[in-house]
Structure 1
Amino acid sequence: MSVANPRLRLVNDSETAVEPVVRLRQLNRHFGKNHILRDLDLDIGKSEFIALLGRSGSGKTTLLKLLAGIDQADGGEFTAPANRTVVFQEPRLLPWKKVWENVALGLPGSEGRTRALQALEEVGLAHRVDAWPGTLSGGEAQRAALARALVREPELLLLDEPFASLDALTRIRMHGLVDALWRAHRPAVLIVTHDVDEALLLADRVLMLDQGRITLDEPVAAARPRTLADPQIQAQRTRLLARLGVTPKGEDRP
């Protein structure tokens, strides 16, 4: 598939093997002289759950936007499924449409409503299908956004810090919901997060991005379901926090 930028080769799904779902090679993105992503290589396997960590400004959201098709790289090879969806930090529900109508956006007729109602039941919002978005709590709105993403049965689900604005208890519930939905639907998932605990509880692999390069790529070995009390999780948490510059006392290193 040809693209406007001659230095970026976007490989069509039909031209590549089924595995991996996402394949990036020597991907670059810059704004003027500011290089956001540098010669980045990444594979994401079918149904694999990846967490992407990194300090602010490391390029995490830029990478997610490239994978989502919202932005375009300046060079490299890029393979991703056409059927991919995004859940952002803000639910981005249309306030003039009811909850089920938001979930059914782009889906045809009565089939769209049926699928939307099924998706809303799956995320625990069967009682809110006819509600207006402005009446939802933060957790309910984010569940509606998840339903909207999953109703399309994506091969790749992209999550851009979707729980950052939620309170601690709601985040815990959302972690359980996302894990259950991933097990049921089995899309490949990339979640961008600042939360090391979230990454370790949800992901198969944890990546760390620093100055536009992946500087760490390691599996989460602990068996599911996971708890933060697991010694394996605690040890990996300590290592990851140290890589992010956080001391045991919680103070950032200079």
Structure 2
Amino acid sequence: MAQASGDPMTAATLTTSARDTAEPIAVSIKGLRKSFGGKTVLDGVDLTIRRGEFVVLLGPSGTGKTTLLRLLTGLETPDAGDVLVPGRRTTVYQEPRLIPSKRVLANVIVGQRRSSRNREAGVRALAEVNLEDKARQWPATLSGGEAQRAALARALVREPELLLLDEPFAALDALTRLQMQDLVGDLVARHRPAVLMVTHDVDEAIRLADRVLILDRGRFATDAHLDLARPRDRADPEILRYHTEFLAQLGVAPGTTSPDRL
């Protein structure tokens, strides 16, 4: 595991349900602190994510969600605390970030050694996201959903132990968004990486997550394990209860217009 260290700080340990304890720990954060310009963004954060666990992070803008992702990718360093992450980790962003001058398959295996084995792995990854017929296409010919599926294939071909998702569906239309949620859920169940996903969409969080975290003033105000059957029915009273509770914790009053996009 890769490690970033600082002065450890005391913070409440997050709970882990018994059903999770059989899987190895992929991410371990203890006493994490991060400030910018004298403003504390993360304040003594503790977090454990196990392999195969799909964790979704909610919180209003400016609460440190993206900062936490950047710390896990190594793009930021903590002011204090310990961060242990797997060596194999990758991120899918809101924008697909495909290279326009490379064909789709070349984008999927970009940065990897040229070999028939890597090429075959790229072809398999494209097949998993239903883009096998787009391997020779240019990125400019893809729809938004297709481009994001190519970005997902690029992440999965590296067989990450930790998959970070930074609002990957935010720019998609409603129908494509639902299709991508189903695809990601299926792929994560198949490949079993640890997942940390940032979103502003409460429905999306409940649809995908094994566990929902809510950041508030630099700490986790909520750590909820969602023991719900899949696929999940939005009419399920338990899902409606979570929906209401999460919105309340995010400060959204009942009846607010478009409450799921904070």
Query: Structure 2 length as normaliser, TM-score?
Result: 0.89
Q: Give the letter aligned to residue 160 of structure 1.
A: D
Q: Which letter maps to 1:105? A: V
CA distances 1:206-231 after superposition (whole Å, capped 9, x unpaired): 00001211110011122111121111
**Equivalent in the alignment of 2:49:** 44
Cα distance in 2, alignment partners of residues 178 and 7 from structure 1? 36
1:224 alignment partner in structure 2: 230
Amino acid at match of 1:121: A
How is 1:104-119 mapped onto 2 (pairs within 5 angstroms)? 104-108=109-113, 109-119=115-125
Q: Distance in 1 between matches of 2:2 and 2:53?
A: 28
Partner of 1:144: 150
CA distance in 1: counterparts of 2:7 and 2:240, whole angstroms: 43
In the aligned structure 1, how far is the partner of 2:163 from the partner of 2:2? 24
Which residue of the partner structure matches residue 83 of structure 2?
Answer: 78
Partner residue, 1:179: 185
Aligned pairs for 1:22-41 within 5 A: 22-41=27-46
> For 1:157-203, what per-residue CA distance to the aligned partner results, in whole angstroms no more than 9, with x for missing partners?
00000000100000000011001101110111011000011110101
Q: What CA distance in whole angstroms lies between the structure 2 residues aligned with 1:38 and 1:171?
A: 33
Residue 233 of structure 1 corresponds to 239
- Give 1:196's aligned residue: 202
**Match for 1:243 among 226, 229, 249?**
249
Change in Cα spacing, 1:229 to 1:65, as seen in structure 2 (3 Å) is same
Hey, which bits of structure 1, 4+ residues long, moved more than 4 A?
A: 1-8
Deviations 1:17-59 (CA, angstroms, capped at 9, x unpaired): x832111000011112111111100010111100000000000
Given that 1:87 and 1:145 are in contact with CA atoms closer than 8 Å, whether structure 2 keeps it comes out as yes
Deviation at 1:5, TM superposition (A): 7.2
Q: Post-superposition shift, 1:113?
A: 1.2
| Counterpart among 54, 57, 80 of residue 59 in structure 2 | 54
When residues 73 and 4 of structure 1 are mapped into structure 2, their CA distance, relative to the original with a 3 A threshold, is closer
For these two proteins, the number of residue pairs brought into alignment is 244
Shift in alpha-carbon separation, 1:209–1:113, aligned structure 2, 3 A: same
In structure 2, what residue type is equivalent to 1:91? P
Q: Contact between 1:88 and 1:161, CA under 8 Å: does it hold in 2?
A: yes
Q: What is the match of residue 91 of structure 1?
A: 96
Q: Aligned pair 1:131/2:137, yes or no?
A: yes
Where does structure 1 lack aligned partners over 5 or more consecutive residues? Answer: 9-17
Q: Is the 8 A contact 1:221 1:232 kept in 2?
A: no
Question: What CA distance in whole angstroms lies between the structure 1 residues aligned with 2:164 and 2:110?
Answer: 18
- What is the DSSP-based 3-state SS (H/G/I as helix, E as strand, rest coil) of the residue aligned with 1:208? strand
Helix, strand or coil at the partner of 1:21: strand
Give the alignment's Cα RMSD to 1 decimal: 1.9
Which amino acid counterpart does residue 146 of structure 2 have in structure 1? E
C-alpha distance in 1, partners of 2:111/2:87?
Answer: 15
Which of 204, 213, 226 is the aligned partner of 1:207?
213
Q: Normalising by the residue count of structure 1, what TM-score does the alignment of the two structures yield?
A: 0.91
- Deviation digits for residues 113-138 of structure 1 (CA, Å, limit 9, x no counterpart): 11111100100101111111111111
Seq. identity, %:
54
Give the CA deviation at 1:6: 5.7
Aligned equivalents of 1:116, 1:2: Cα separation in 2: 26
